[in-house]
Amino acid sequence: MFEYLTAGESHGPRLTAIIKSLPAGLKVEVEAVNEQLFRRQQGYGRGGRMKIESDQVIINSGLRHKETLGTPLSMTIENKDWQNWVEVMAPDKEAEADMEALTNPRPGHADLPGALKYNHRDLRNVLERASARETAARTAVGAVARQFLNQFDINIYSHVIQIGNLKSETWTDIKAKDPERFKRESDIKEYFDELDKTELRCGDTARTEAMKHLIDSWRANGDSVGGVFEIVVTGLPVGLGSHVHWDLKLESKLAAQLMGIQAIKGVEIGAGFKGAGLPGSKAHDEIFYNLDRGFYRKSNQAGGIEGGISNGEELIIRLAMKPIPTLAKPLHSADIISKKETTAAKERSDVCAVPAASIVGEAVTASVLASSTAEKFGGDSMQEIKRNYDSYLEQLRKF
Ligand SMILES: Cc1cc2nc3c(=O)[nH]c(=O)nc-3n(C[C@H](O)[C@H](O)[C@H](O)COP(=O)(O)O)c2cc1C
């Protein structure tokens, strides 16, 4: 379930995503997909491309009267910029004789290893697919997965907690400051929804100003900016993923797919690297029980996963994004044809895309969790999956 493919070049006619297997009877709102595409296009520090594109999904198959048929769901997103690239990116015409190849690879991008591996003499053949434009397709897939997860009251949020070397509070810090504030799901949703109205998706307003200033000043130097964002998932039942084999562990699935997002270079679950420095007595979450809540914890150092299995607490993941490789003041490079010293290519580019990456992170998390949920509860239709889910919850209550 939720196995998918994406295809499409950054300046080609369109992006395509196909979700191979979905349960029948899932209600999918196209507007909810477009809303996620819109969120991915926002954020302080983005480049000119996002001003050209206003992504809208077209559903080509798998949906009838807003409900999935259980058949492959295929979606496309037009690239408006294609109009400017019809000749350069023509799928069905020979290259024009005067077309200049791109031959000066950017350090940190796929340009050089991609050209060497695929024996390309024009770096465009590599960068068009390596480009994070592809993440629009994954965001559309994630938007369908989210609608599936909503049926089980599973919600996915994110916020930016570091831009360049400026850090802000983590979700655990924010909750610790005011434990009464986030007792209900609606309070959590309201907090994260408000972040969508801000330019950096960071809850600390004073910090946001400093972060924007950092982006501006690094941009003025011809530089780019990375950062860290955090994903928070509420409503996960105990029991997604498994301890029985390494590749079934929930965190191994999450880490593999989240590391598949362009420019993501680190994934932490729960206390992560900080946890490694704590004594065991402080690094683990003591177990409590009462009749209302069943088994529960008063802390969440594990970040919601123990032994590869969701433990019923919030899932907390942090992702490190490296600075964008395309620089206005380009780095030293070597031409792939002449082999002479040169400077790296200067494509139109974002300076900072951490807020956008956080939306892609939500989408990828949604697709992993939707797949794990469908796997755990099984079934070809939503009715069947929900029945299995309800009876599992009953089993947990009686445990
Ligand atoms: C949302 C998002 C937007 C990005 N925008 C750009 C960009 O405008 N220019 C650029 O050079 N890299 C951009 N990147 C990063 C590159 O796509 C990425 O660094 C490159 O494909 C090499 O892959 P790697 O960093 O995973 O090794 C972006 C990444 C994301 C997630």
Identify the CA nearest to 19 among candidates 33, 38, 36, 35.
33
Whether the predicted pLDDT of 50 surpasses 80: no
User: Average pLDDT, whole number, for the chain?
Assistant: 97
Least confident of 257-261, 299-303, 345-349: 345-349
Q: Report phi then psi at 211, rounded to 5.
A: -65, -40
Mean local confidence (pLDDT), 126-153: 98
Whether the predicted pLDDT of 347 surpasses 90: no
pLDDT band at 47 (very low <50, low <70, confident <90, very high): confident
Distances in Å between the Cα of 241 and the Cα atoms of 149, 244, 297, 377, 387 are 15, 9, 20, 12, 20
pLDDT band at 48 (very low <50, low <70, confident <90, very high): confident
Tokens 């996915």 — which residue? Answer: 156
Q: 59 near 73, Cβ under 8 Å?
A: yes
Identify the CA nearest to 9 among candidates 143, 113, 142, 132.
132
Q: 345 near 325, Cβ under 8 Å?
A: no
Identify the CA nearest to 209 among candidates 225, 198, 220, 223.
198
Q: Which atom of ligand 1 is nearest to the CA of 359?
A: 1
Mean local confidence (pLDDT), 323-335: 98
Fold classified for 4-87+103-398:
Chorismate synthase, AroC fold (3.60.150)
For residue 325, report the distance from its CA to the centre of ligand 1, in Å.
Answer: 7
Residues that constitute the known binding site for NADP(+): 40, 46
For residue 173, report the distance from its CA to the centre of ligand 1, in Å.
Answer: 29
Mean local confidence (pLDDT), 37-46: 95
Q: Which residues contact 328 (CB under 8 A, 6 or more apart)?
A: 219, 222, 223, 346, 349, 351
Calpha distance 361→114 (Å, rounded):
24
Around ligand 1, the residues with Cβ closer than 6 Å are 47, 109-110, 130-132, 135, 261-263, 322, 324-326, 349-350, 353, 356-357, 360
pLDDT tens by residue, 272-313: 999 999 999 999 999 999 998 899 999 999 999 999 999 999
Mean local confidence (pLDDT), 127-152: 98
Whether the predicted pLDDT of 49 surpasses 80: no
Q: 327 near 344, Cβ under 8 Å?
A: yes
**How is the chain split into domains, by residue range?**
4-87+103-398
For ligand 1, atom 9: residue with the closest CA: 349
